[in-house]
Every structure is written in structure tokens, then in C-alpha cells.
Amino acid sequence: MKKFYEEIAQLFNAWEYCVKKGNHDWELKHSEKIDMLCKEYLPHGSGFDDGGVKFDWDNSKENRLVFTAGFHHMDEYGGYDRWSSLKIVLRPSLMHGYDMTLTGIDRKYRWDRDFFFDTLHYAFNREIVERL
């Protein structure tokens, strides 16, 4: 079985190849599969608003996968307070599979950083369940 980030990296590589070669049928199939996997495996709800974590097609390259997310922070009374526009970048690592950088966290809520890293690390490392 493959981990989520491995599957996305392979599909994105295949998608880029199809774009270069003009194979529109397979380009569409690869992009639809990436979108479907992101919807199924990445966080959405519980603060991850605006459709959850999404794949960033424009900024991803063969040596990095980029994701974006809007996150609504809560105040001490349980109400929504501030918004962070997150950018998550995965780069290959020989030691750990990937290195993750995370930017865009509102300074008032920088302590949410551990929550983001833990939640996203879990999601990116989930094993993909193949369906027939």
C-alpha cells in the first residue's frame, strides 16, 4: 500500500507528463483522482473551512507538493475569532520521506502550529485504500 503523499506525488508526476505530451484524457483522469483523494483523506471541517485542505496545482512541482487551507481559529468562548490562510509544502527527504513547512498561521494563534503539524502529518501518511 502507498501513503497518501506518495500516491499524490506519483499522480502529479503522471499528470505533468500528460500535460507535456498533450494527453488530455489521462490528464483529466489524474487530476480527478488527485482531487478525489484530497477530499477523502485531507482534513475538512473542525476549523479547516473553505472546503478543507486543497492541492495547489499552480505551485506544486516535481520536487514539492503544495497544499492550501483556510483555518478558522476559535476564541476562549468557543466562537470563531481569526482566520489563517495556510500554505503547506512537502519536499522529499532521505531521512523522513518528506519535510513539511507550514506558513500563514495568524500570530495570535501560533500555538496551533503543533495541532496543524500533527493533523497534517497524520493525513499525509495515511495509507491509501485501493477500491475496485
* Residue 35 near residue 53, CB atoms below 8 Å: no
- Please give the average per-residue pLDDT across 93-120, as a whole number: 86
User: Does pLDDT of 132 surpass 60?
Assistant: no
Q: Report if residue 11 sits inside a domain.
A: yes
Full-model pTM: 0.89
Q: Report if residue 131 sits inside a domain.
A: no
In sequence order, what are the residues at sequence separation of 6 or more whose Cβ sits closer than 8 angstroms to the Cβ of residue 64? 89, 90, 91
Q: Report if residue 93 sits inside a domain.
A: yes
Domain count, the chain: 1
C-alpha Rg value of the chain to the nearest Å? 16
Question: Exposed, middle or buried by CB within 10 Å (0-12, 13-18, 19+), for 93?
Answer: exposed
Print the domain residue range for 117: 4-125
Q: What is the pLDDT of residue 91?
A: 96
Q: Report if residue 59 sits inside a domain.
A: yes
Q: Report if residue 83 sits inside a domain.
A: yes
Band (pLDDT 50/70/90 cuts) for residue 72 is: confident
* Residue 109 near residue 117, CB atoms below 8 Å: no
Q: Report if residue 31 sits inside a domain.
A: yes
Q: Report if residue 132 sits inside a domain.
A: no
